[in-house]
Amino acid sequence: MYAPGESYEECRATADWLLSSTQVRPTVGIVCGSGMGGLAEMLKDPQVIKYSDIPNFPRSTVHGHAGQLVFGTLKGKPCVCMQGRFHLYEGYPVQKITLPMRVFKFMGVETIFLTNAAGGLNQDYKVGDIMILKDHINMPGFAGNNPLVGPNDDRFGVRFPCMSDAYDRELRQLAQEVASELGYSDFLQEGVYVMLGGPSFETIAECRMLHKMGADAVGMSTIHEVIVARHAGMRCFALSLISNRVVMDYDSQEKANHEEVLEAGRLRAEQLQKLVSSMVARLEHNNNNNSF
């Protein structure tokens, strides 16, 4: 059964409450990862609603996550931005973590942009690189921790949704074009993201295994949100900021830490924000020409 706050009726009620609290009717949703909340500050005429004020909404407990929704316009496009997301390691059921995706759908959102900070498994990646997600490996899902587990309400989506097209091909191509125009190609990558539950960082043996499995970057978020967003029929585009190189050498003295993640976010945040905002602007142009 659905936990409190996750049923169709409760998700709809949360969306209706938000729609009654703002004049914005968002078609684009943005999820800000650790240290990347500045994306929300790009919105014009912003209206801020704290998670603690929203019926049925969880609370963000992680340093670097503000814990609020910001409504406004980005490049003329009505948007809603999550400044702070939710994670398995905070103790929430996976269905609660992904509740905002269903609420966004009910509010009229068609396209979701997600950002995260991730450790670089690919040895060609450098700290500060931005990786476009082309695919993912859902490690918690291997153990049955999938946000779609339980009864399926067909009003949300189909019982067995396809995930081979989870990350929209046209949006990925658009990102490459925009990055080239902005001069970002030197630090733009495209790869496979793997999610672990956290909150402990990975061991050396785990990193070696994940690398051999074909993962290019590792983190603790995003995938469950994408699964639910795709289940709801929204288009998804996701970026990882490579905030650290994972340790795969037993002789290394390096250690992963959250402060390093936030610092990498600060250093590259402006360019990441420009990339996303430029893509949103192009979305508007393409929508008018029925290209998207």
Please identify every residue annotated as catalytic: 34, 65, 87, 89-90, 117, 220-221, 244, 258
The answer to whether 79 and 110 are in contact (CB under 8 A) is no
Rounded Cα gap, residues 195 and 145, in angstroms: 12
Rounded Cα gap, residues 89 and 40, in angstroms: 24
CA-CA-CA-CA dihedral for 12, 64, 22, 272, to nearest 10: -100
- Give residues with Cβ within 8 angstroms of 90, minimum separation 6: 58, 60, 61, 62
Which DSSP letter does residue 150 get? S
The amino acid at residue 194 is V
Name the residue among 22, 38, 291, 17 with its Cα closest to residue 171: 291
